[in-house]
Structure 1
């Protein structure tokens, strides 16, 4: 599927918000964004509405659209939702995991370990989680999990970026081993520990 200009604007702005390049409270001016992307206001409005739907921006009366603040209560909620929904998806994934899907997940794990910086690592980390969960074949569940990853990524950048160092993720490796053994209990318990550790 070809990306639209609204997709491009959304992806660019969401990444800037997630990484902290656009800070909480910063105004998202339609005219400035339209000029930057050399487009009309229509795709800009669409992109801003998507940012709002994902909790990255908020529309305020007479003030326009602004970047939302990080809310500690929301972070805790996101972690709990990820624990519940990702373990549900993983339980179904284990049953449907093909050798090709397992190989793709392992390649995603290795790519994550080889990341040179935090933005690269965070993007690859999302790809790894998506790879182990996609075989569940539950598209609505996966879509909700994708949204939760966007929310938790912003928290990760805010709290872990100053401390980030390149490392081997032993949890990712342990999840892959559990998937190879089709050990649902081990895979889900490691995943729960892994998600909670990020908080």
Structure 2
């Protein structure tokens, strides 16, 4: 869906059953949280859109309890904000947050790739190569986001560090809607694909120092690009909002003869 909505309920009808029959409450809240994340990532729910608990509960045909749990979960992940007397709204896009996410990722993923390279096998390297090609050729933003994350995580999986993988995965999810912005920057998309290829090559050659250097440069460069893009966009929007409104023409008056 390409058009954003002001909040729930969504305009488009649901495709098929939204939840499995008799889903446990924990599973239900997880399904709702994932649906809300997806709607925020693909732009269906725009920054600032209200998320009303009663409307979400009706949309998913559930009670308020799993909805509250889902909203608490995505609030802890930074997707939404809750304010007294204002309720829950989709968090705005932030240039500083985008840059910080990629700064943290650069440190964690450099550690992960250094730990993983000695444990890569022919099979794991084939999987990483296949995922690299899949991400490179993917024109759909939503699918690209998923394939990009899968490629990166395939490089780190042999490290055997589940807590590190969880932290990196959380940051990938936090950065999903920022990553989609690269589709408005087609030149960067091609550059990013080339960096993925170089990174994969370093891993295949088991060159730990080079792989760490490349992944840090790749992620810090993405963070700086997104920070600059969002900052310039915010400045342009502020300048437009501050422009004086043109005065309407005063109607001519005529006098009878």
Normalising by structure 1, we get a TM-score of 0.90
The structure whose Rg is larger is 2
Tell me by how many angstroms 1:164 deviates: 4.2
* Counterparts of residues 1-199 of structure 1 (less than 5 Å): 4-157=27-180, 159-164=181-186, 167=190, 169-199=193-223
Higher mean C-alpha displacement, 3-12 vs 87-96: 3-12
Q: Which has the higher helix share?
A: 1
In the TM superposition, what whole-angstrom CA distance separates every residue of 1:61-98 from its partner, at most 9, and x where no partner exists?
12221111122222221121011111001110112112
- Change in Cα spacing, 1:10 to 1:124, as seen in structure 2 (3 Å) is same
8 A contact 1:18–1:150 mirrored in 2: no
Higher mean C-alpha displacement, 100-109 vs 82-91: 100-109
Tell me by how many angstroms 1:190 deviates: 1.4
* 1: CA distance, partners of 2:221 / 2:140: 20
Q: Displaced runs of 4+ in structure 1, greater than 3 A?
A: 163-168
In the TM superposition, what whole-angstrom CA distance separates every residue of 1:88-140 from its partner, at most 9, and x where no partner exists?
01110112112222121111111112213111111110111111111111111
* 1: CA distance, partners of 2:174 / 2:81: 14
SS of the equivalent of 1:26 reads coil
Tell me by how many angstroms 1:151 deviates: 2.1
Tell me by how many angstroms 1:25 deviates: 1.4
Structure with bigger RCO (C-alpha 8 Å, 6+ apart): 1
Query: How many matched pairs?
Result: 197
Q: Which stretches in structure 1 are left out of the alignment for 5+ residues?
A: none
Structure 1 vs Structure 2 CA RMSD: 2.0
In the TM superposition, what whole-angstrom CA distance separates every residue of 1:39-81 from its partner, at most 9, and x where no partner exists?
2222211211111111001111122211111222222211210
Tell me by how many angstroms 1:29 deviates: 0.9
- Change in Cα spacing, 1:19 to 1:197, as seen in structure 2 (3 Å) is farther
* 2: CA distance, partners of 1:43 / 1:116: 35
SS of the equivalent of 1:65 reads strand
